[in-house]
Amino acid sequence: MKNLLKWTAAAMLAGAAAVYAAEDSEMKEFEQWKQMKQERQQNKEEHRQKMHEKRMKRLAKELNLTDAQKTKISGLLDESWKEIQKETQAFREKAKQIRENCDAKILAELDKDQAAKWKELKTKMRKKAREKMKERRESKKHGDKDNLEQHGENDDDLCPPPSPEDEDNDNE
pLDDT digits (tens, 9 = 90+) for 8-37: 777 777 777 666 666 677 888 888 888 888
pLDDT digits (tens, 9 = 90+) for 111-136: 999 999 999 999 999 999 989 988 98
C-alpha 60/C-alpha 74 separation (Å) is: 10
* Inside any domain, residue 7: yes
Least confident range from 83-87, 98-102, 113-117, 149-153: namely 149-153
Domains: count for the chain:
1
* Inside any domain, residue 115: no
In this prediction, residue 34 carries a pLDDT of 85
Domain that holds residue 19: 1-52
CB 160 within 8 A of CB 79: no
* Inside any domain, residue 170: no
* Inside any domain, residue 105: no
Q: Which of residues 87 and 13 earns the better pLDDT score?
A: 87
* Inside any domain, residue 73: no
CB 153 within 8 A of CB 145: no
* Inside any domain, residue 109: no
